[in-house]
Structure 1
């Protein structure tokens, strides 16, 4: 029964982080001239990876971000977003186990995950346009989004892990 309760709690937290990521993505969505938009969603993706671990974080980050794409009318991006944001969370969550939870480790995880995002959308935009060079146009705005996502998620997770309640409820912080 104890294991079933832990599993239920993990799925509830995953659903919560799916919603958080979707809302973070939608609350500020600044359209770009080349078809995408700059948003706060990477904060939710990285925070989910840090708190839920790589696999449940991938579900929350990928589904939450793809749902925001659909709700905001960027449906063509939803499949790529599901994959890219999910992979971001896997990279951040797995790398955290290697580099640790100190500030430098969190920053390393964030940079690696955001590189996945920048390269992923470059390739997808290149695929959409039929020209990889044309896909390069989104790198600047994705870079700005990445810097904010790294800074915000790092600050939030380092503040949250000071809470006994949070560390009790998220196994990745123990």
Structure 2
């Protein structure tokens, strides 16, 4: 398949995966999506450059066509970088000895858990209002119930530990046979939540009249999006590898 055709197919795949399920996040007016699952799968199948272009263009098009145009410039750069780095790491880490990969996997999981705990303790401890969240599935919108609750600081530590354990399981246990691939996703995938944190803090939130610090509210959600992408893509990649054996 020629590179131009591959790029077109992969771009369309990312676009569809990004728009098929969108969960609105009121704090920044962004949305949770499943685009990462396509990006990480394509990173395994293609070169870093093709992966980066498909990731950036496909995701930015989804923003433009589903009412999130303000995020499109940031998405283009963030998703390009994420796709490129994940694909590049998959090729580099396949040559690294397993003990070093396992140590890096543990460090990545702990870092992700710490970031969620830290953000939650600073911003979401105490009385918290949980707004109604519209979920858009193929154009059909559903509204969840709005409520308020009190969240103790130790709950965020527990959540951080759970997230770290999930990542350790996904990378080192479930991804045991594909450790370089799983670790590449875990490392490169952190570019996405960090990139959006910076973009929302300095650009999109001020342009929308939202407090810059509200960007931190979406950070745990984007970590969750990365983990969802890791989970789905590992299953797809495992299927592809078995089919080719």
Same fold at TM > 0.5: yes
Note the C-alpha offset of 1:129.
2.8
Equivalent in the alignment of 2:74: 80
Structure 1: 5+ residue stretches without partners = 1-5, 168-174
Q: What per-residue deviation string (whole Å, max 9, x for no partner) do you get for residues 77-136 of structure 1? A: 011101111101111111111212952111111111211001000001101335653321
State yes or no: 1:52 paired with 2:46: yes
Retained in 2: the 8 A contact 1:123–1:132?
no
Please give the residue correspondences for 1:60-99 in structure 2 after superposition, counting only pairs within 5 Å. Answer: 60-99=54-93
1:133 aligned to which of 182, 195, 213: 213
Instruction: Measure the CA separation in 2 of the matches of 1:53 and 1:153.
Output: 17
Q: Which deviates more from structure 2 when the two are superposed, residues 128-137 or residues 108-117?
A: 128-137
Contact 1:46 1:88 (8 Å CA) reproduced: no
Alignment partner, residue 13 of structure 2: 20
Q: 1 or 2, which has the higher strand percentage?
A: 2
Aligned residues: 158
What residue ranges of structure 2 are gaps of 5+ in the alignment? 96-176
For the 8 Å contact 1:62–1:86, the answer to whether it is kept is yes
Q: Distance in 2 between matches of 1:83 and 1:153?
A: 22
Contact 1:114 1:146 in 2 (8 A): yes
Which residue of the other structure, out of 19, 24, 32, is the alignment partner of 1:31? 24
**2:237 aligned with 1:161, yes or no?**
no
Deviation at 1:37, TM superposition (A): 0.3
CA distance in structure 2 between the aligned counterparts of 1:53 and 1:150, rounded to whole angstroms: 19
Q: Is 1:54–1:94's contact at 8 Å kept on the other side of the alignment?
A: yes
Mark the structure with the bigger radius of gyration.
2
Please point out which of 129, 139, 142 is paired with 2:222. Answer: 142
Secondary structure class of the residue paired with 1:73: coil
Question: Shift of residue 30 of structure 1?
Answer: 0.8
Kept in 2: contact 1:122–1:132 (CA 8 A): no
SS at match of 1:30: strand
Question: Is the contact made by 1:80 and 1:124 (CA closer than 8 Å) also made in structure 2?
Answer: yes
CA separation in 1, counterparts of 2:212 and 2:25? 18
TM-score calculated relative to the size of structure 2? 0.61
Q: Distance in 1 between matches of 2:215 and 2:21?
A: 23
